[in-house]
Amino acid sequence: MASYNRVILMGNLTRDIQLRYTPGGTPVTEVGLAVNDRRKNQAGEWVDETTFVDVTFWGRTAEVAAEYLSKGSPVFVEGRLKLDTWETDGQKKSKLKVVVERMQLLSARGEGGPRSNPPQSDTGEFADTRVGSSHDAPQPSGSFTEDEIPF
């Protein structure tokens, strides 16, 4: 049977990022993401519901997050679900989290201090912070006319 594991979330960080390194030197950080939802209850009143999700950033994505994000920063993440399990005092415990593979910084430039200026490419788009992405790849230049678009 085939399976598909993909998560897309947009929310605000619940605390400042603390960058750590594995014994092998790989950057990693874990932080909470608050995702808000608004819906009507049975009485017809609007109710805000917040879901807190633990997310893990690895590699260059973790470094960019630590440099440009802080508590309350809005961020868009894409990744996969991972179930961590461990045992404490003979009791089995588990936690479901999101391992981020792609991140988009959402803060406006100049907003909130030095952490708010995300890296940008020559085209003015946000830099690609995907794990394992090639930052040396040629970037598109200029704009395209309708005749140049192949679809």
- Structural domains in the chain plus CATH codes: 7-135 (2.40.50.140)
pLDDT of residue 1: 86
Residue 141 has pLDDT above 80, yes or no: no
Confidence of residue 145 (pLDDT cuts 50, 70, 90): low
pTM value is 0.67
- Cα(97)–Cα(86) distance, integer angstroms: 14
Query: What confidence tens digit (pLDDT) does each residue in 68-111 have?
Result: 999 999 999 999 999 999 999 999 999 999 999 999 998 755 44
Average pLDDT over residues 125-133: 46
- Cα(59)–Cα(86) distance, integer angstroms: 24
In terms of pLDDT, which residue wins out, 82 or 127?
82
In this structure, which amino acid lies at residue 55? V
